[in-house]
Amino acid sequence: MWSPKSGTLPHQHKQSNIFSRHFKPSGLAPQQTNQYQTNYSDPSYHQTNQIARNSMEFSTDTSLIQVTVDEKGVAVVKINRPEKRNALSQQTIDCLVRAIAMVERDDKVRVVVLTGSRSSGPFSAGADLSELQHLSTVEAHRIQYLKDLSDAITKMRKPIIASVAGFALGGGFELAMMCDILYAADDAKFGLPELSVGTIPGAGGTQRLARIVGKQKAMDMILTSSTMSGKELERLGLVARAFPLDKLYTSTIDAAHKIASKSVPVVQLAKQAILNSEETHMDAGLKYERSLYYSSFSLEDRTEVGFWVGH
């Protein structure tokens, strides 16, 4: 059974479907429906006899974040605010952070896919500008806008894949770059247009973009507020693979299933080693890689030696 302390998702035995869940604002009592519900700050919950939906939903007053987990351990997390182009309001961010925390804690989840709720996009238009219009410097520092989301994703042990269709702009592009792997539609549009509204990227955009595509491309893209396609960013190495739009989602899930089929601790060791390479010089990185490599020999789910020598 699920509880906020355990973080275990309520999977059904021998079935791929999972129960439905809503998160309500702090202080509001759960309402009785035919689904699981809870106040996130209150571990009490209401259970009924019939579970009508094959999904989990984290929401306050709407279903802002939807989560489904299949039988192979792939959790698909969808941003569901299409009327606002999936803009990242603080409420949406809070719900997404909770969703990420839950799938991270659940041992049945092996890989996470982050995408928009519609196959044609968008992924996200970035920060909700209506909330930023009157935000002062002091208030921005106080609420640490977007930092909690960045921390939730970048500190995950499990691999997380961004699947981008339509467009990913501003904070939406930064969110996609936080993920371990970024797949995109060939014609998806990426950009950091913050300068056009009188600010700069504030959730890692200047740092991650420059490290991947280089100073010149980053300067051009940010200072001119220009966009690039998924296909263009694939050539620059920021997008791992670009697909025709109608192939994007299935190709993303196929890749997630391949990762999910491998040893969980070994995948996490590999991820840890790769991420470490971004923060250290080669000698230290090689030493760190060897230490993780040697530690994998003691894992119970290590494959037989014959596999390693090519038999």
Please check whether residues 148 and 270 belong to one and the same domain.
no
SS3 category, 79: strand
Q: Look up residue 255 and give its two tokens.
A: 């890749």
Nearby residues of 284 by Cβ (< 8 Å), 6 or more positions away? none
CA Rg value for the chain: 20
* Selected catalytic residue, list 121, 165, 166, 174: 174
Q: Is residue 16 part of a domain?
A: no
The neighbour count for residue 243, using CB atoms within 10 Å, is 22
What's the half-sphere exposure (Cβ side, CA atoms, 13 Å) at 224? Answer: 9
| Domains contained in the chain, number | 2
Enumerate long-range contacts of 212-218, CB under 8 Å, 24 or more apart: 212/177, 212/236, 212/237, 212/238, 213/237, 213/238
Please check whether residues 175 and 291 belong to one and the same domain.
no
* Selected catalytic residue, list 126, 165, 170, 194: 194
* Selected catalytic residue, list 121, 170, 171, 202: 171
Q: Is 190 exposed, middle or buried (0-12, 13-18, 19+ CB in 10 A)?
A: buried
Cβ atoms of 174 and 128 within 8 Å: the answer is no
Nearby residues of 308 by Cβ (< 8 Å), 6 or more positions away? none
Please check whether residues 108 and 177 belong to one and the same domain.
yes
Q: From first to last of the 311 residues of the chain, give the pLDDT tens digit.
A: 333 334 444 443 333 333 334 333 333 333 332 222 222 232 322 332 222 234 555 543 348 999 999 999 999 999 999 999 999 988 899 999 999 999 999 999 999 999 999 999 999 998 887 766 666 666 666 666 678 888 999 999 999 999 999 999 999 999 999 999 999 999 999 999 988 888 888 889 999 999 999 999 999 999 999 999 999 999 999 999 999 999 999 999 999 999 999 999 999 999 999 998 887 777 776 777 677 766 776 776 655 434 443 43
Please check whether residues 96 and 222 belong to one and the same domain.
yes
Please check whether residues 74 and 92 belong to one and the same domain.
yes
Q: Is residue 8 part of a domain?
A: no
Please check whether residues 179 and 67 belong to one and the same domain.
yes
Cβ atoms of 115 and 249 within 8 Å: the answer is yes
Q: What's 266's DSSP letter?
A: H
Q: Is residue 12 part of a domain?
A: no
Our answer to whether residue 139 is catalytic in this structure is no
Our answer to whether residue 166 is catalytic in this structure is no
Q: Is residue 131 part of a domain?
A: yes
Type and span of the H or E element at 268: helix 264-277
> What is the Cα–Cα distance from 203 to 221, expressed in whole angstroms?
16
Q: 214: domain range?
A: 21-261
CATH number, position 29: 3.90.226.10
* Selected catalytic residue, list 127, 152, 184, 185: 127
Our answer to whether residue 171 is catalytic in this structure is yes
Our answer to whether residue 237 is catalytic in this structure is no
